[in-house]
Amino acid sequence: MGALALGSLIDPKLLAAEKARDTGVTAGLHFAPKARNIIYLFQSGGPSHLDLFDPKPELAKRDGQQVPEELVRNIRLAQIGKNAKLLASPYKFARYGKSGVSLSELLPHLQTIADDVCFVQGLHSEAFNHDPATIFMNTGTQLAGRPAMGAWCSYGLGSENKDLPAFVVLMTGVGQPLTNAAWGSGFLPTVHQGVTLRSQGDPVLFVSNPAGVSSHRRRESLDAINDLNRIRFDALKDPEIQTRISAYEMAYRMQTSVPEVMDISKEPTAMHEAYATTPGRASFANNCLLARRLVERGVRFVQLYHRGWDHHGGPDGNLVFDLKKRCAETDQPAVALIKDLKQRGLLDQTLVLWGGEFGRTPMMQGALRPDQIGRDHHPHGYTVWMAGGGIKPGVVHGATDEFGFYAVENKVHVHDLHATIMHLFGVDHLRLTYRFQGRDYRLTDVHGEVVKQILA
């Protein structure tokens, strides 16, 4: 399967043969897929589920009181002590859609599509600091060096467009630093790693021809380099040499394909108004529109990282000014993306996932002032939402306890989420493996159960 995926990027004849099959390289491998593409809207820093999706009357009743000792007896917190006081949400909630999901006043656009979305409120993770939690959410382990979910999709499902990568990453915002360990290929061939595109300036660094180098001269140079690489491969049989050849060829084709797909200026005025986009700027809104353009062209896995959700309290991030800003930046374009995909008939085959690496504590961090109030990191129970791609719409799955601390009902582990996503692509997560250093690895390691209750 890995050879097929790699071959689809190298051999045009094989690519043409595979593109004739509607579901790509692994068509019929395990079972019929529901999704062909995924757009992962990763909100880096840890959005507060308690202020966006999961209101708790008990918190409002006991606001300012000491957290119950039995709640925090055996847990570790990142930056606050176990004696912190409970904090009610300062925001109003109301119920929306047939599911009656409670949504914050900070998400007026998401309220309009409540019946198109599945809210997973019983999600829980294992890491309580940003870097290991982000890597865990993306690779299934807290240690750097394992393949990202997008790399597994590229490896298992191949590419549907010979001129664009199968796995694309777009980034906006400021805040907690991100490393390519979250979108790397790990021990898989590096052809499967995420390729970072930029929505401002050169879309891809170092892909444009240097001054004085024509396209014809670049083609001649690549042919000569590839001939030398093939000679080297015949001697060593190192698959990374084939990856290098593929990368050179992909970069050459991207010189034409990427500027075209990244140019949103030709989109209709109504589309810019819907997404709140401004051509030429680096913004989450622009990246949402780019994500739609990328999946239209067959990019398998598009991941948008938007930083700035780390709201501990104080001038660097708080639950009043900064949380409002993040919601204003993301709510409208994310919902516009869902509506746009639906209108184009793409939502049924495109899975959209929104969420961060963890949630926030029901206890307060910082001072009880609008410019200081915050919450700490919290992996034990939080919310993500999903839409399209075979997900059951208009449902709320799972629940946290009365304080929003622990996932207690229909709990979903990160491994379960990964297993479910692979299932939607028609892949049995138990069977998509890669042998490395004497053992078979998979995205879900030795864990993971498909959450069948949220499947359409």
* Digitized pLDDT (tens) for each residue of the chain, 456 residues in all: 554 454 444 444 333 333 433 333 454 468 889 999 999 999 999 999 999 999 999 999 999 999 998 888 888 888 888 788 999 999 999 999 988 999 999 999 999 999 999 999 999 999 999 999 999 999 999 999 999 999 999 999 988 888 899 999 999 999 888 999 999 999 998 889 999 997 666 777 666 777 777 877 877 888 888 889 898 888 888 878 887 887 777 776 777 778 888 899 999 999 999 999 999 888 999 999 999 999 999 999 999 999 999 999 988 899 999 999 999 999 999 999 999 999 999 999 999 999 999 999 999 998 888 888 999 999 999 999 999 999 999 999 999 999 999 999 999 999 999 999 999 999 999 999 999 999 999 999 999 999 999 999
Residue 29 is predicted with a pLDDT of 66
Whether residue 408 is contained in a domain is answered as: yes
Residue 454 is predicted with a pLDDT of 98
pTM here is 0.89
Whether residue 320 is contained in a domain is answered as: no
Domain count, the chain: 1
Distance CA 443, CA 270 (A): 40
Residue 161 is predicted with a pLDDT of 86
| Token pair listed for 124 | 């829980």
The dihedral formed by the CA atoms of 137, 138, 142 and 145, expressed in degrees to the nearest 10 = 180
Q: CA torsion sign, 107 to 110 to 114 to 120?
A: negative
Question: Can you spell out the DSSP letters for 118-161?
Answer: EEEEEEE-S--SHHHHHHHHHHSSSSTTSPPHHHHHHHHH--S-
Whether residue 147 is contained in a domain is answered as: yes
CB atoms within 10 A of CB 369: 11
Whether residue 383 is contained in a domain is answered as: yes
Domain of 253 in residue numbering reads as: 2-314+343-454
Residue 25 is predicted with a pLDDT of 40
Among candidates 443, 379, 361, which has minimal Cα distance to 129?
379
Contact (Cβ atoms closer than 8 angstroms) between residue 188 and residue 434 = yes
Whether residue 422 is contained in a domain is answered as: yes
Whether residue 335 is contained in a domain is answered as: no
Residue 260 is predicted with a pLDDT of 85
Among candidates 3, 6, 1, 21, which has minimal Cα distance to 250?
6
Contact (Cβ atoms closer than 8 angstroms) between residue 416 and residue 141 = no
Distance CA 90, CA 104 (A): 10
Strands 117-124, 412-413: pairing kind? parallel
Distance CA 399, CA 176 (A): 28
Distance CA 247, CA 260 (A): 19
Please compute, for residue 211, the number of CA atoms within 13 A of its CA located in the half-sphere on the CB side: 0
- Which residues have a Cβ under 8 Å from the Cβ of 84 and sit 6 or more positions away? 67, 361, 363, 364, 365, 376
Whether residue 143 is contained in a domain is answered as: yes
